Amino acid sequence: MATNKLQHFIVIDDSKLDCFIAEKVIKNTGKCESVTSFLQAQEALEFIKQNSLNSLDPIIVLVDIQMPIMNGFEFVEAFEKLPVNTRKNYHIYVISSSINDNDLTKIPQYPSVIQFINKPLTSNNLSALLAKDK
């Protein structure tokens, strides 16, 4: 589809290094309009509520699972309670180092989560994701 269109990205991960990696990988795709990282999920949620990006195009959200205070699942649950208009442009991907069955089976139960991605994020799996994302 719109292969050359630049996209907005949101990264939510309590590890600074993982945010840094994600930012780098995202920027290297050449398809990045902006990337905003959050170490805390609540802040990302607030950011989305305020519609800070004000974008009509899909915004890709990469969220980690295990985070203190508000973990990835809690974030998704809170996100799914937002009004449709607020959340319709966000495409959520869960990204984690988890190989725990409970986590992995839980992911498909969230309608708003498009896919699970293994850490670390690499340009290969990000490109594959962007190719499929519509």
Partner 1 sequence: MEKKIKVLYIDDEQNNLVGFKATFRFDYTVLVAATTEVARQLLADNPDIRIILCDQRMPDQTGVQFFEEIRFKYPEPIRMLITGYTDIESVIDAINRGNIYRYIKKPWTDTDIQSAIEEGNKFYLTNNLLALKNKELQSAYDELGKFAYSVTHDMRGPLLSVSGAISIAENCTDINEIKEILGMMDSAIKKLDEFITNVHDYYSMKRGQLVFEEINFNKTLNDCVALFRIAGTMEHISFLSSVKQDVPFFSDEVTIKIVLTNLLSNAVKYQRKSVTDKFVDVNIEVNQTNAIIFVKDNGIGIHDDHINNIFDMFYRATSEEAGSGFGLYNVKDALSKLGGTIEVSSKLNEGTSFKVTIPQKANGNK
Half-sphere exposure of 48 (CA within 13 A, CB side): 33
Which of 47-55, 83-91, 99-107, 109-117 is the region at the interface with partner 1 (rule: CB under 8 A)? 99-107
Residue 60 to residue 94: CA distance in whole angstroms: 11
Instruction: Determine which residue in the list 14, 76, 90, 129 makes contact with partner 1, applying CB under 8 A.
Output: 14
Binding mask 21-60 for partner 1 (x = CB under 8 A): x--xx--x----------xx--------------------
> Is there a contact between 36 and 10 (Cβ–Cβ < 8 Å)?
yes
Q: Kindly write down the DSSP assignment for every residue of 87-110, as one continuous string.
A: HTTEEEEEEES---HHHHHHGGG-
119 part of the interface to partner 1, by CB under 8 A: yes
Provide the binding-site residues for partner 1, judged by CB under 8 A. Answer: 14-18, 20-21, 24-25, 28, 39-40, 66-69, 96-100, 102, 119-122
